[in-house]
């Protein structure tokens, strides 16, 4: 199949994962919010999104292009501060994407990065205030100190899915000895 990766992220970690997946699969990579790429050219999609304020940042783009996405095999990946087994993620997913997309698409959660040294003073203040609303010590610490859980090895299931779909549509191989005419 002819696939492509579309992603949305602001501070580089989602773009980094998309790039790694592109390198491992040979699929083209597009920043969803800054591309002229035509979804009609692709029949299999990987959609990657950062999670900001409990929502997937690619959600508006997905809704805007829903008619071109809905009938294609799609894998979703999210780049988040939350751990992949955090039950809150399912709610954020449901609030961001059409139910049909969630139902038909595998979803992989990848560890994100929060580098507070690159934030403005008011964003750091926002994080400090936000930290006090968090229920666990770990989540508070993440918001107060930042974190870096970007991990190249974690793209493995996404690469596997992409290669499987690529193979499914590979042209049939000729029996040995058959000659092109
Ligand atoms: C303002 C802000 C809000 C965030 N909100 C969430 C959130 O609701 N849930 C979560 O799991 N991670 C949250 N994060 C962490 C991001 O998902 C993480 O930093 C991710 O790596 C960002 O992707 P990017 O580097 O591609 O922009 C937030 C980060 C920022 C800066």
Mean pLDDT, consecutive 10-residue stretches, the chain (181 aa), reads 94 98 97 95 97 97 97 97 94 98 97 94 91 91 94 98 81 54 46
Rounded Cα–Cα distance for residues 58 and 96 (Å): 8
What confidence score (pLDDT) does residue 34 get?
94
Please count the residues of the chain.
Answer: 181
Does ligand 1 lie within 6 Å of residue 110's CB atom?
no
Q: For residue 1, what pLDDT is reported?
A: 77
For tokens 């990848």, the residue is: 110
β-strand 74-80 against 55-56: which pairing, if any? unpaired
Question: Ligand 1: does its nearest atom lie under 6 Å from the Cβ of 143?
Answer: no
3-state secondary structure of 41: helix
Question: Which atom of ligand 1 is nearest to 50's Cα?
Answer: 23
State the distance from the centre of ligand 1 to the C-alpha of 16, rounded, in angstroms: 14
How far apart, in whole angstroms, are the C-alpha atoms of residue 12 and residue 72?
27
- pTM (2 decimals)? 0.92
Q: Give the model's pLDDT for residue 181.
A: 46
Q: Measured from the CB, is residue 98 less than 6 Å from ligand 1?
A: no
For CATH 3.40.50.360, the residue range(s) in the chain are 3-112+149-168
In DSSP terms, 5 is beta-bridged to 29, 46
pLDDT, position 180 = 47
For ligand 1, atom 2, the nearest C-alpha belongs to 52
Instruction: Considering the domain delimited by 3-112+149-168, tell me its CATH architecture.
Output: 3-Layer(aba) Sandwich (3.40)
Helices (H), the chain: 13-25, 59-64, 66-69, 88-96, 99-104, 121-131, 137-145, 156-168
What is the per-residue pLDDT for 5?
98
Q: Is 83 in the pocket of ligand 1 (CB under 6 A)?
A: no
């Amino acid at each position: 199949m002819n696939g492509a990766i579309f992603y949305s992220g602001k501070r580089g970690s989602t773009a980094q994962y998309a790039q790694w997946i592109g390198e491992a699969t040979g699929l083209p990579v597009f920043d969803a919010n800054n591309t002229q790429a035509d979804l009609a050219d692709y029949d299999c999609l990987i959609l990657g999104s950062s999670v900001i304020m409990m929502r997937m940042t690619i959600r508006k783009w997905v809704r805007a292009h829903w008619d071109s996405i809905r009938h294609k095999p799609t894998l979703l990946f999210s780049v988040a501060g939350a751990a992949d087994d955090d039950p809150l993620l399912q709610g954020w997913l449901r609030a961001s994407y059409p139910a049909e997309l969630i139902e038909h698409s595998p979803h992989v959660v990848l560890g994100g990065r929060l580098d507070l040294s690159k934030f403005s003073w008011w964003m750091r203040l926002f994080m400090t205030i936000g930290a006090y609303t968090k229920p666990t010590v770990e989540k508070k610490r993440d918001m107060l100190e930042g974190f870096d859980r970007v991990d190249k090895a974690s793209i493995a299931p996404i690469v596997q899915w992409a290669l499987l779909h690529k193979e499914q549509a590979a042209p049939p191989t000729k029996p040995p000895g058959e000659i092109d005419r």
